[in-house]
Amino acid sequence: MGTRFDTSWVPDLEAQPAPKYRALAGAIDDAIRTGALAPGAKLPPVRELAWEIGVTPGTVARAYREATDAGALRANVGQGTFVRERRQTGTFIPLHPLTSHAQEGQIDLRNSRSPIVGQEALINVAIERVLARGSHVLDDYTRATNDLSARDALHGWLASGGVETEVDAIVPTYGTQQAVLVAMMAVTSGHDPVVLVSDLVYAGFQQAAKLARVTLYPVRSDTNGLNPQALEEACRIARPQAMLVSANLHNPTLVTMSEERRAAIAEVARAHDLQIIEDDVYGWLLEERLPSFPTFAPERTWYATSLSKCVAAGLRFGCLVTPPGRGAVGQGIVQAMNYRVSSLIGQTVVELIQSGEADRIRDMARRHLAERAALTQRILGRWGIVTAPGANFAWLDLPHGWHLAAFDRACVDAGILIATAGTYVLPGSDVPNKIRISLGMGYEAPVFQRCLEQIDRILASPPVELMA
């Protein structure tokens, strides 16, 4: 099949009793089984097929996702959707595209690592103090007292940032991504549950959704985050069970929602009986924090955060805050995965929080990020690059003359790796002509500056054939 719709294969959706998206997914499966769609065949673009058969683009996109999840199709970002040469069986989670190894000599500006500001020594001292208190962190992984002391410390830490909760509602996790996965599993049920997300979604959360067998349904965002009217429309079309929101420093757009927008979204969730999963991994580097979603809708918010961006990513320590009375639900899911978070890690975090060292590290990280953002603006500001206080990455709308793939290739040729918007879109969605650049965590300032200067030169020299 070419890029145009092949009229020799026209699915008859009216004869199917199932919802149209499932009928279309079934028709695709039948066509593959009978040979009407050959292995490797490229399916029509979502909007084109929708027009041809008289359904909404959302219906086609959802059918494509279902057939992809079933192993019949594969989606290549920026290229299209294809019939698999061989049906994929079981649960296959594609590797995170930002985690591949950089080659020798390449500067990796894809990942938003935590700033390294001398916390190694402070964390080492904290570990030594924990070990000096006895073997209780090493002799077992079921000690409830270790888990409780970690939740007590987190209770105070969260309250300092305006997140009021009960100790029993705090579930320690291995980072924010596990917290989001646990929340997805806790709030969804039935066949093909749907969770609403912004139109650009962190790849790790896409992986979590696949593992939880959740369909992510993209919702239009504006300069203030998720659009409430678009959420209302998505609720009518997709019948979701929950929404995933990033109110503080959304990755990758850097949008922080206003307090009014947060309240409006909470009202939509309440009106449609949606659970709210809030990702707040970046918000703890903000000097001033607006109220989080537990303030607006405590009865339905599952709040996920960690110390990964503000203290150290390598600790792999975070938490999920459940609605009141639901802590046992989250704890049960974590217990099924890994019983509890490592006592050594948990007690080290307790030591860092109670000693004040976690706050000290966070303050140093803020200063470091402010310096890197200022350097980025000084060199790339003329291109309209967006930075934000507390964020360890920048967001850039490529200027006229540059297309995403060509710019990415030019950076690779220069020995620099950046993240394109294609990493954040869902299958079947349009890819914005934008890139994300980390602020060079792990690299000395002179190295990062040379990278920015090279990117500036690349931006100033678009390919002649693209400008024509």
CB-based contact 388:164 (threshold 8 Å): no
For the chain, what percentages of helix, strand and coil (3-state, to nearest 5) are there? Answer: 45, 15, 40
On the question of pLDDT at 3 being above 50, the answer is no
Instruction: Say if residues 439 and 445 touch (Cβ distance below 8 Å).
Output: no
Q: What is the mean pLDDT of residues 132-151?
A: 85
Q: Which two tokens stand for residue 280?
A: 């707040």
Domains in the chain with CATH codes? 1-92 (1.10.10.10), 107-117+359-467 (3.90.1150.10), 119-358 (3.40.640.10)
Please state, rounded to an integer, the average pLDDT across all residues of the chain.
91
CA dihedral 227, 231, 234, 239 (to 10 degrees): 160
Amino acid identity of residue 57, one-letter, is: P
| pLDDT(1) > 50 | no
Neighbouring C-alpha atoms within 13 Å toward the C-beta of 174: 13
Tell me the sheet residues that pair with 134.
none
Using CA atoms, how far apart are residues 59 and 337, in angstroms rounded to an integer? 34
Six-digit token string for 256: 């922080």
pTM: 0.82
Is pLDDT of 5 > 70?
no
pLDDT band of 114, cuts 50, 70, 90 = confident
Query: What is the DSSP secondary-structure string of 399-419?
Result: PTT--HHHHHHHHHHTTEE-E
H-helix or E-strand containing 393?
A: strand 393-397
Nearest CA among 356, 347, 354, 339 for reference residue 315: 347
pLDDT at 79: 81
What's the token pair of residue 25?
């997914």
pLDDT at 468: 44
What pLDDT, on the 0 to 100 scale, is given for residue 33?
85
Mean pLDDT of 388-409: 95
| pLDDT > 50? residue 6 | no
Is 90 in a helix, a strand, or coil?
coil
pLDDT per position as a tens digit, 352-371? 999 999 999 999 999 999 99
pLDDT of residue 48: 87
pLDDT at position 280 is 98
Mean of the pLDDT values across residues 10-34?
A: 81
Q: Which residue has the tokens 């650009």?
A: 200
pLDDT in tens, 37-54: 888 888 888 888 888 888
pLDDT of residue 94: 72
Question: Partners of 74 in the beta sheet?
Answer: 82
Neighbours of 66 (CB within 10 A): 20
Residue 81 and residue 242: Cα distance in Å, rounded? 27
**Three-state secondary-structure class, residue 395:** strand
> What's the token pair of residue 361?
């590290």
In the predicted structure, residue 307 carries a pLDDT above the cut 90: yes
Q: How far apart are CA 375 and CA 281, in angstroms?
A: 24
Q: Tell how strand 80-83 and strand 73-76 pair up.
A: antiparallel
Q: What is the pLDDT of residue 9?
A: 65
Are 257 and 247 contacting, i.e. CB atoms less than 8 angstroms apart? yes
The two beta strands, 170-173 and 318-321, are: antiparallel
Measured from the Cβ of residue 148, the count of other Cβ atoms closer than 10 Å reads 13
The mean pLDDT of 97-115, rounded to a whole number, is: 83
Tell me what pLDDT residue 74 has: 87
According to DSSP, the β-strands at 221-222 and 225-226 are antiparallel
Residue 75 has pLDDT above 90, yes or no: no
Q: Which of 2-6, 152-156, 253-257 has the lowest mean pLDDT?
A: 2-6
pLDDT at 11: 78
Map 175-199 to HEC letters. HHHHHHHHHHHHHCCCCCCEEEEEC
Report the relative pairing of strands 107-108 and 416-417 from DSSP bridges. Answer: parallel
Q: At residue 15, does pLDDT exceed 70?
A: no
Tell me the pLDDT band of 4, cut-offs 50, 70 and 90. very low
Higher pLDDT, 354 or 465: 354
Distance of CA 294 to the CA centre of its chain: 20
DSSP character at residue 42: B
pLDDT band at 16 (very low <50, low <70, confident <90, very high): low
- The confidence band for 102, taking pLDDT boundaries of 50, 70 and 90, is confident
Least confident of 36-40, 326-330, 414-418: 36-40
**Confidence band for 334, pLDDT divided at 50, 70 and 90:** very high
Query: What is the structure's pLDDT at 395?
Result: 98
Tokens read off for 238 = 């997709």
How far, CA to CA in Å, does 355 sit from each of 106, 135, 350? 39, 21, 8
Q: Does 252 sit behind a cis peptide bond, omega within 30 degrees of 0 on the bond before it?
A: yes
Rounded to the nearest 10 degrees, the angle between the axes of helix 20-34 and helix 57-69 is: 50
Contact 147/340 with Cβ under 8 angstroms?
A: yes
Q: What is the mean pLDDT of residues 211-221?
A: 94
Token pair 């206003």 is found at 258
List all residues 6 or more positions away from 244 whose beta carbon is below 8 Å from its beta carbon.
180, 184, 195, 196, 197, 201, 205, 216, 277, 279
What is the distance between the alpha carbons of residues 376 and 118, in angstroms, rounded to a whole number?
22
> Which whole number is the average pLDDT over 298-308?
97
Beta bridge partners of 278: 245, 303
